[in-house]
Structure 1
Amino acid sequence: MDPTEKSKCIYIGNIDWNVPLKEVEDYLASISEDVSVVDIRVKEATTKKRDVGKCHGGSAQIEFESHDDASKALDTFQNLSNEIEDIPIGSIKSRWALNHAVDKKQHTEKKNEISQERILHRKMRAEKYARQRQAIAKRTDDLLEYINSSLKIKVGIELEILDSPPLSWSKEIPDEIDPMRGGGLRKGTERGKRKQVQVECFYDVLYEILNENEDKRSDIDNGLELVADLGSGAGNLSLPLAWLLKDNNSKYKVLAIDINKRSLQRLEERAERIQVELETLDEDLFNLINDVAKDEDPLKHCSAIVSLHACGAASDLAIENAVRREIPFIISPCCVGKAKAKRQAGNMPTMSAQRSGTPDSITYPRSSILREIVGDEDYNLILSAADYSASERIDLSSDKEMKHIHRGKLAKNLVETDRLMWAEERNYTIRLLEIPRLGNPRRYQIFVAGFK
């Protein structure tokens, strides 16, 4: 501040938070003892978590009798900060502070000017981003139209809606099995009901696969064969499948695999409470691929691989684990846009974003057919569009919103078709299935299934 504005206050910053409030006040008073001090106000610490244990807010304002007193004190504090390295209350910084009515009025006027500039800047920036989004949407629409018209000639994957028999969740199934009652999802919500339908669809398709492949797996001994849930989490799919297979006197046992030890521990506790036997394995899906040729391969006696909502490239790792072992798979991918991120080589991923990232061994597009017509940059546009998730309170009468939903459906269909074509190129019979939708068309949930 210009000292000609005759301010009678100075501001002191960089005060050590750990110095008691009384010591700060006494020190500031002692430095200002040669001038007339009206008031010393040290900023109080807030109630925020980050300020727990602090004695104060780290700054103070000193008001003097006159401008001359304030000017003299300011020179004293500035000399101290320049000449003394170890100041008892911290590495202080001093400057003029607003105090009287004229100062406040000028400050308000200047603040209003800045606010108007910021509003204009934000408006221009919003308009710029809107134009960019429109250009990206147009590019994505053109790309999807071109790709779909090209693929229709080369491959035909019918999208069928699953009509799986419903389970009596409230009567015949233990609470611990229910994703809402035992899985921690809020009761009566669309998400909880959707999870129940997902389990029903998975079990329906899995039951069909296991029956169809009974004769083909005759080379395995009479012991229990595995159904492996890759990226199992706390078991909202693993546990119901284990209970349903046991209830039908099946010879199959569920192996839940996840990199999150805490999730597996919770799964084990849930299983123990209802005496359902299953196995768990703390492992990265990427490392599982390298176990194919080993005698101690944990999936050596696996009859099918399932995976519900393995984010990003984790779904591709689940499919590759199945294809490498020539066993069927049922996958319901999610968050496909996370596949755009690269996984750091050599590190065990602890963050969710890293587990969803793409290792060097996975390339997009997956299929050779799509790689002929789509490059990396264009495929990233498709991945982004496929991740679109509208609000639960979407306006179905909005043309703009419906275009978003339609674009997301086409992109999601294409990404999953690409995954299946990669498996088809490795002699798999493939199916693209849609889970029955609940409520508003907010999410487009797709199964990809492959049968060797």
Structure 2
Amino acid sequence: MENNLVFLESYTDFVDYGESRKISLSLESCIIFCIYKYCAPKGLKLKLVATKERKDVIAIEIMESGLEFADNEKISWQVTSCVFPVALLEDTIITGLCAVARHIAKYKTGARNSNEHEEGILGFRKSCLQAPNEVSIWTKFCEVDIIKTVREILICNKLNELPKHLVRFENHLSKPVRVHNVYKMARTMKKKNITRLEELKIIEEKIETEKKVRSSKSRKWKSNIRKASQIDSSVAIEDLNISHQFAEGPFFTLADLVLLPSYRILIQLIGISVFGSLLPLTLQWYERLTNIPEIKVINDIIDKIQCKLVSIDQTVIVPTTEVVSLYKCDPTRHNPKKKLFTKEEDIENALSTLKEGMMINVIANQLNSKWDWNNIPDGANPAAGHLPDARINRKSQQLENLTLAVLSVAKDGDKIVDFCSGSGHLGILIAYLLPKCTVVLLENKEQSLLRARKRVHDMKLKNVFFFQCNLDFFIGKFDIGIALHACGIASDLVLDKCLKTKAKFILCPCCYGSLHSTDRLMYPRSHKFKGVSINQYLCICHAADQTHDEHPLTQRGDLCMAVVDSDRARLAEEFGYTVTLSRLKPLSCTPKNNLLIGVPS
């Protein structure tokens, strides 16, 4: 049985493809197809899944022979639970453009091209595009922003203003390279750039030195090449002379492959002259990329994509954007999340806006059971060495609370999703206790999920499946959604997933102070709390994080947590849920100890 597959969504069925050899794909699937052709991965098979074309998707038509379609009736529920493209590796699902691209890159065959990093197209420590788009500005640009830009221009008749994301990338290319190994990179490059004249000079110095010491005590000679290539870390990054030859710096990486098809289409739509005059660094990057011999396999695919030229206004507006790189670590980047609402009078004024009937009662925790961790096997037991000693007791208490809550609402056959599962402490315990239920561990960090997978396999559990993806990319049906300390807005995203699919939810939120409005979430969340302004709400959120032990503001922090979770509960009630708000016990197991349980009517 094939156990390593990549599935792409096709808007052309097998019959039509057999007649025309043309295939219509979403832009994301087209990009993955190009990366697959470039990497020619060993042991990884590509299959197309015929689906109906969605109204929100502009199809990209390519010509290619020898493609294989999957039998829709035999596609596993894991694959259909996710947004395409999707990779399936045994019991693990990987979805999301960048995550699937990384998966393909790991199986790449053939030699490195001369522009790649010595560790390959995944770059230093194989970290290229590793961070999920929820936390990485760079991954979000490659996976979301530029895709959105292409879609907008594909349906545009006349362009009056240059898309802001194109300007952002141009600014990125103009800024110093900011990666965590930039000084090592500078030293390596300097060492490689030592001229032959310098080498000859060093050899001459060696000969003279040997003459002087020949009659005296012999010593081991050390080359000055290493000394000449040293760069002190106090040197400003701007003075390292490392420029963006490619998207992530001086080396060709997977990020270039992800961006290339989109920019090929954009140049065809807007015209190379516009890029040359308004986005010159982007055009230089694009031409440098397309001139790499190994890129020919991608050029042959995307050169056949036909797009009509968009009419450009003679006085096209170039939007003003921050002249910063797309790296999160750029110190000049504006970060609205850093704004703190700490003035006492602001917090008190925000709390004064609360009206009677807005809050829900915080009830006593009624979940009681004679719990004995000695009966829990090592793989599901925090005491087995999966955690530092200082955390074992508190983590065990947290797991008890949420597990008992799940046991109180679960029934045989339920599909339970542990969102933001980390290394699986909660989900694995539930899977062991509920062997007739299916448990999904959903986590966007690859290493965390791999640790969970090893423990599950060691325990020989057969009811656990693994999804490496962002919350957005999971679209499957489920019966119970759980999340223990899903940070900030992640708790609200989990709540929305549960409300959409009418699933029960069990949430223990955290990081209230990092809540912020996004294009998907607006605060306050419920109609009951609409009288609270966004600034007042964020004041309350910030105060909700003041719940440390023996802190004079802990009591107020508890109240503010209850305010935010009451807003969440009121939203669920609007969807027909019965919701209870209680607290974990003992309270000392975590400062973020609210427990929301929702059951649809």
TM superposition score category, shorter chain reference: 0.5 to 0.7
| Residue 285 in structure 1 maps to residue 492 in structure 2 | no
Quote the Cα distance in structure 1 between the aligned partners of 2:377 and 2:368: 20
CA contact (8 A) 1:162 1:435 kept: no
Report if aligned partners of 2:340, 2:542 keep a CA contact under 8 Å in 1. no
Distance 1:135 1:260 in 2: 32
2:382 is matched with 179
Instruction: Give the alignment of 1:304-323 within 5 angstroms.
Output: 304-323=480-499
1:163 Cα deviation after fit: 4.3
| Amino acid of the structure 1 residue aligned with 2:377 | P
Change (3 A) 1:207 1:134: closer
Q: Which residue number in structure 2 is paired with residue 410 of structure 1?
A: 559
Counterpart for residue 27 of structure 2: none
Question: How far apart are 1:230 and its partner, in Å?
Answer: 1.1
Residue identity in the other structure for 2:522: T
Partner of 1:263, secondary structure, is: helix
Distance 1:244 1:442, change over 3 A: closer
Tell me the distance in 1 between the aligned counterparts of 2:532 and 2:401: 32
Q: 1: CA distance between counterparts of 2:425 and 2:399?
A: 8
Provide closer, same or farther for how the CA distance between residues 366 and 55 of structure 1 changes in structure 2, counting only shifts above 3 A: closer
Give runs of aligned pairs for residues 35-74 of structure 1, distance below 5 A: 55=230
**TM-score, normalised via structure 2 length:** 0.43
Is 1:257 the counterpart of 2:415 in the alignment? no
Residue of structure 2 aligned with 1:382, choices 540, 552, 556: 540
Kept after mapping to 2: 8 A contact 1:144/1:410: no
Report the Cα distance in structure 2 between the residues aligned to 1:267 and 1:173, rounded to whole angstroms.
16
Q: Give the superposition deviation at 1:318.
A: 0.8
What residue number does 2:584 align with?
435
Paired position in structure 1 for 2:420: 231
Which blocks of at least 5 consecutive residues in structure 1 are unaligned?
1-14, 28-50, 60-131, 215-223, 292-297, 341-357
Aligned counterpart, 1:210:
410
Question: CA–CA distance in 1 between the matches of 2:512 and 2:358?
Answer: 24
Partners of 2:494 and 2:364 lie apart in 1 by 22
Give the AA of the match of 1:175. D
Corresponding position of 2:302: none
1:140 aligns with 2:347: yes
Contact 2:485 2:510 in 1 (8 A): yes
Corresponding residue for 1:198? 398
Q: Paired residue for 1:369, among 528, 549, 557? A: 528
Q: Is the 8 A contact 2:547 2:555 kept in 1?
A: no
Q: Kindly provide the CA deviation profile for residues 353-375 of structure 1, in whole angstroms up to 9, marking residues without a partner as x.
A: xxxxx54121100111101x211
Residue type of the alignment partner of 2:571: W
Equivalent position of 2:218 in the other structure? none
Task: Check conservation: 2:513, 2:542, Cα contact below 8 A.
Answer: yes
What is the letter of the counterpart of residue 237 of structure 1? L
Q: Which residue of 2 aligns with 1:36?
A: none
Residue number among 159, 162, 166 corresponding to 2:363 in the alignment = 159
Cα distance in 1 between the residues matched to 2:465 and 2:342 = 50
- Identity over aligned pairs, percent: 25
- Which residue is 1:273 aligned to? 458
Partner in structure 2 of residue 115 of structure 1 = none
SS in 1 for 2:579: strand
Partners of 2:347 and 2:540 within 8 A in 1: yes
Alignment correspondent of 1:242: 431
Specify the code of the residue in structure 2 equivalent to 1:407.
R
In the TM superposition, residue 146 of structure 1 has moved relative to its aligned partner by: 3.6
User: 2:404 is paired with a residue of what secondary structure?
Assistant: helix
- 2:515 aligned counterpart, secondary structure: helix
Distance, in Å, in 2 between the alignment partners of 1:52 and 1:162 is 68
**Is contact 2:524–2:534 with CA below 8 Å preserved after alignment?**
yes
Q: Structure 1 residues 382, 54: CA separation in 2 closer, same or farther (over 3 Å shift)?
A: farther
- TM-aligned CA distance change 1:324 to 1:133, over 3 Å: closer
Cα shift at 1:338: 2.0
Instruction: State how many pairs are aligned.
Output: 282
> Conserved in 2, the CA contact under 8 Å of 1:322 and 1:328?
yes
Which amino acid is 2:536 matched to?
A: D
Q: For 2:596 and 2:349, locate their aligned partners in 1 and report how far apart those are by CA, in whole Å.
A: 25
Deviations 1:340-399 (A, max 9, x none): 2xxxxxxxxxxxxxxxxx54121100111101x211111111111112242xxx5x4xxx
What amino acid is the match of 1:327? A
Say which one has the larger Rg.
1
Partner of 1:324: 500
The structural deviation recorded for 1:279 is 0.8
1:87-106 equivalences under 5 Å are none
Q: Measured at CA, do residues 384 and 276 of structure 1 come closer, stay the same or move farther in structure 2, by a change above 3 Å?
A: same
User: Which amino acid letter does the alignment assign opposite residue 264 of structure 1?
Assistant: L
How far is 1:197 from its partner? 1.3
Deviations 1:112-147 (A, max 9, x none): xxxxxxxxxxxxxxxxxxxx9997122212322441
Q: Distance in 1 between matches of 2:534 and 2:419?
A: 27
Q: How has the CA–CA distance of structure 1 residues 268 and 145 changed in structure 2, closer, same or farther, with 3 Å as cutoff?
A: same
Residue 445 of structure 1 pairs with residue 564 of structure 2: no
CA distance in structure 1 between the aligned counterparts of 2:572 and 2:228, rounded to whole angstroms: 58
How far apart are residue 415 of structure 1 and its match?
0.6
Q: How far apart, CA to CA, are the structure 2 residues paired with 1:313 and 1:58?
A: 37
Deviation at 1:165, TM superposition (A): 2.1
Question: Aligned equivalents of 2:228 and 2:491: distance in 1?
Answer: 45
Task: Tell me, in whole angstroms, the C-alpha distance in 1 between the residues paired with 2:564 and 2:578.
Answer: 17
Deviation at 1:179, TM superposition (A): 2.3
Residue type of the alignment partner of 1:446: N
Equivalent residues of 2:397, 2:586 under 8 A apart: no
Q: Is the 8 A contact 2:341 2:538 kept in 1?
A: no
Unmatched segments (≥5 aa) in structure 2 = 1-186, 206-225, 235-338
Shift of 1:262: 2.2
Deviation at 1:334, TM superposition (A): 1.0
The answer to whether the 8 Å contact 1:141/1:407 transfers is: no
Task: For 1:135 and 1:268, locate their aligned partners in 2 and report how far apart those are by CA, in whole Å.
Answer: 42
Whole-angstrom CA distance in 2 between matches of 1:375 and 1:166 = 45
Root-mean-square deviation (CA, aligned residues, Å) is 3.3
In 2, the alpha carbon distance for the partners of 1:228 and 1:53 equals 56
CA contact (8 A) 2:417 2:480 kept: yes
1:124 alignment partner in structure 2: none
